[in-house]
Amino acid sequence: MPAADLYVQRLQWLPYLTLEECRAAGAENCEDFLARLQNRTLSLQTAPGLSPQKRHALQIALEGTALVPPVEALALPQPTRPGLHEINEPTPASPVLVTGNSEITLTVLTAVLATTISPFYLLLVDTLGDTLDMALIYERFTPARIAAACEEEALAVRVSHRRMVIPGLAATLREPIATATGWDVTVGPICALELPLFFGDYWQPPRGD
């Protein structure tokens, strides 16, 4: 069975790099820096202009699917328990990530979230086990379902803010979700492996990394 599409080809790199960081590593520009990283002629460990957090995030992006356990594309949806998952003992100020309740999605996100000690809430909306791309096609990742999940999990009581991050594939739903929930909605990356870059310094590496 073929591997699930993790949208690694949609991972964005350049928005997170500055010209100063790239030139400090001896690259002409950020495109050159990225090309040399990807063809392994430049090592992140010898790039002096990068913070430890950004170096860690870039390493995760470079590892790509090797970081994630093998995930097969499934002919049928494979649901996991919907609801709120607590990652790294979140506090009321911790970010809220929202996605569907596919087991594939949870496997991938768990692998990526294992690369940080930073706390998160992960809200899995009941999409009947569809991955997000399929849930959007079948209209199972909807503003109404997201609002209902927030209500069921008493999310407004658990957190001190009203901000959530949705997957990049659901970007067209940002305003409808904001209207349905009353929350500020930020569009995150399409590829989960981009999350460490997206969260920047908040994404703290495990101690010793």
Say if residue 150 is in the same domain as residue 60: no
124: domain CATH number? Answer: 3.40.50.11600
88 is in which domain, residue-wise? 83-202
In a domain? residue 41: yes
For residue 125, the model assigns a pLDDT of 98
Say if residue 59 is in the same domain as residue 133: no
Say if residue 60 is in the same domain as residue 95: no
Band (pLDDT 50/70/90 cuts) for residue 75 is low
Strand 163-166 with 120-125, pairing: unpaired
Q: How far apart are CA 62 and CA 190, in angstroms?
A: 16
Band (pLDDT 50/70/90 cuts) for residue 208 is low
In a domain? residue 5: no
- Which tens digit of pLDDT belongs to each residue from 156-185? 999 999 999 999 999 999 999 999 999 999
Say if residue 46 is in the same domain as residue 135: no
For residue 71, the model assigns a pLDDT of 81
CA triplet 188, 190, 194: central angle to 5 degrees? 75
Which stretches does DSSP call E strand in 36-145? 83-87, 96-100, 120-125
Band (pLDDT 50/70/90 cuts) for residue 46 is confident
In a domain? residue 179: yes
